[in-house]
Amino acid sequence: MARHEGRGMASVNYPIGMNLGGDPSQALIHSNPDGKFTVALSAIDLGQGMKQVSRQIAAETLGVPVEDVYVDTADSDTGPHDMGSFASRGTHRMGNAVIAAAREARGVLLEAAAEELEVNAADLVTDGRGNIHVRGAPTRSITVKATAQAAQFKQGRTIAGRGIFLLPLSAVDAETGEMNPNTAFAHACLVADVAVDDETGEVTVLRMTSAYELGRVINPRMVEQQLVGGAWMGMSHALYETPEPYYPDPAHGPRDFNEYLMPGPGDIAPYHVTVLERPAPDGPFGGKGPGEMCANPVLPAIANAVYNAVGVRVDELPITPEKILRGIKANGGVRPQPRRGGAVTWRPRDVAVPA
């Protein structure tokens, strides 16, 4: 019995939002009399952080503190239409709709403040801490709260905004596949280090190292949770799970988590992610979306690492011990491929995941 280490890589890109467009998102924003804002949506928070992304984008655009904004989603009586939370579209599509709504609300806010300060609204700026003042003259200021109270009880104004974002629907040519697909693409490259046991056929993922380009990062910790969780999902797709292990034979359907094989805590690999930000020209503050692509490079990187370790190509997922042992046998033994590079330049304790 021997344990063979191997290293593989893959690089990918990913389209953000529904491929052909035609998928609108809407947002409504209004202020209460104290200058606290509510963003009404019908977007779905699946745990990915839709509420928080919308909240930070709204606060940034309004120019108010983030704690003065809450997001209310999803109630079809109060939240305007949105296609839904899928296709990596939440941050990009809804983020743009929130910007449009917040910009309209901000316009009213500044007009109301201008009336109180007896200046031109175009001369006003926000400090992001709850104050509005004349550009270059911080003492000529009014709080957002006082402005909202004046708007509500004195001026009779609603501080509110509406927003929609829509990429027009593209046609597709039947003969050539010509189309206007997505306008924003994210990118990634991932290196997987594995160990393959040539007696049991078991694969251990030792560590993963990646670089992702995601446009503007709206909230780094939420990007991290997506990329790390998604990488583990990719490991699971590559090595563990399927309801039909002998597909297309439909037999052996699993009924629960005892029968559906997924990695446990002991199987999780340390992971280091570097994030690059090349802003999307049409993204909210340049944001793209990390939601879906984070599993994609892991599958081929692990398959390529297994080949590098023992010389077996497994072209049918998942890469089970059975397939590896059959491959080793067919090759007449293990055939380790050339080593690539040296030890990684990061240590497991550098990353916020259990080593």
Partner 1 sequence: MLELRKDLFADERDDTLNVVGKSVQRQDMPGHVTARTRFFDDHAFDGLLHLKVVRSPHPHARIRSIDVSAAARAPGVKRVLRAADVPVNKNTLLSLINFGKDDEPALAVDKVCYVGEPVVAVIAESEAAALAARNLVRIEYEPLTPVFDVEEALKPGAPVVNPTYPNNYFEYHERFDHQKLRFGDVEAAFARADIVIEHRYQMSPIEHAPTETNGSIAAPEHNDRYVVHTCAQGLFFSLGTTAKIVNLESNRLHFIGGTVGGGFGGKVDSLTEPLAVLGAMLTGRPVRFVLDREEEMLYGSPRGAERIYIKDGLMRDGRIVARYVRSYFDAGAYTRLSSYAAIKCTAHIPGPYWIPNVASDIHVAYTNRCPSTAMRGFGITAVDFALEVQMDRLAEAAGLDPMEFRILNAYRDGDVKPHRRVAKNTALIECVQVAAEKANWPLSDQARRQSSLVGGGTGARAEIPATVLDQRGQIGRPESRGAPATGTLPAGAMRIPLTKEPVMEGTRDGRAAPVQVPRYAPAPAPGPAGPPPAAAASRPAAPPASSAPPFYPPAPSPAPVAPPPVAPPAAPPTQHGAMRFSSVFGTRRR
Burial 75-101 (b: 16+ CB within 10 A, else e): eeeebbebbebebbbbbbbbbbbbbbb
Q: Contact region for partner 1 (CB under 8 A) — 27-35, 111-119, 236-244, 325-333?
A: 236-244
Please give the Cα distance from 261 to 274 (Å, whole number). Answer: 30
From the CB of 175, what's the least distance to partner 1, in Å? 5
Rule CB under 8 A: say whether 220 interacts with partner 1: yes
Rounded to the nearest whole angstrom, what is the least distance from the CB of residue 301 to partner 1 in the complex? 7
Q: Is residue 303 part of the contact set for partner 1 (CB under 8 A)?
A: yes
Q: What is the DSSP letter of 29?
A: E
Among 286, 321, 336, 348, binds partner 1 (CB under 8 A): 286
Interaction residues for partner 1, span 151-210 (CB under 8 A): 165, 167-185, 187-191, 209-210
Our finding on whether 247 is near partner 1 (CB under 8 A) is yes
Asked if 335 interacts with partner 1 (CB under 8 A), we say no
Which is nearer to partner 1, 156 or 338 (by Cβ)?
Answer: 338
Whole-number Å distance between alpha carbons of 289 and 173: 28
- Long-range contacts (CB closer than 8 Å, 24 or more residues apart) made by 324-333: 324/196, 324/201, 324/203, 325/200, 325/201, 328/198, 328/201
Q: Which is nearer to partner 1, 82 or 197 (CB)?
A: 82
Task: State which residue, 275 or 334, has the beta carbon closest to partner 1.
Answer: 275
In whole angstroms, how close is the CB of 327 to partner 1 at the nearest point?
A: 13
Per CB under 8 A, 142 contacts partner 1: no
Compute how many other C-beta atoms are within 10 angstroms of the C-beta atom of residue 227: 22
How many of the other CB atoms lie within 10 Å of CB of 108? Answer: 20
Among 6, 12, 149, 201, binds partner 1 (CB under 8 A): 12
Instruction: Give min distance, CB of 137 to partner 1, in A.
Output: 11
Q: Which of residues 68-87 bind partner 1 (CB under 8 A)?
A: 70-71, 73-77, 79, 81-87
153 versus 331: smaller Cβ distance to partner 1: 331
Among residues 153 and 257, whose Cβ is nearest to partner 1? 257
Among 130, 163, 167, 134, which residue's Cα sits nearest to residue 283?
Answer: 167
Between 85 and 152, name the residue whose CB sits nearer to partner 1. 85
- Cα distance between residue 170 and residue 94, in whole Å: 19
- Region of 140-148, 198-206, 233-241, 325-333 interacting with partner 1 (CB under 8 A): 233-241
Q: Residue 36: name the closest of 158, 111, 150, 148 by CA.
A: 148
C-beta of 216: minimal distance to partner 1 in Å? 7
Q: Which of residues 135 and 154 has its CB atom nearest to partner 1 in the complex? A: 135
Q: How far apart are CA 38 and CA 49, in angstroms?
A: 17
In angstroms, what CA-CA distances link 112 with 29, 102, 119, 129, 130? Answer: 16, 15, 10, 18, 15
Residue of 45, 111, 115, 267 that binds partner 1 (CB under 8 A): 45
Q: Give the position of tokens 């104004």.
A: 157
Q: Which is nearer to partner 1, 101 or 146 (CB)?
A: 101
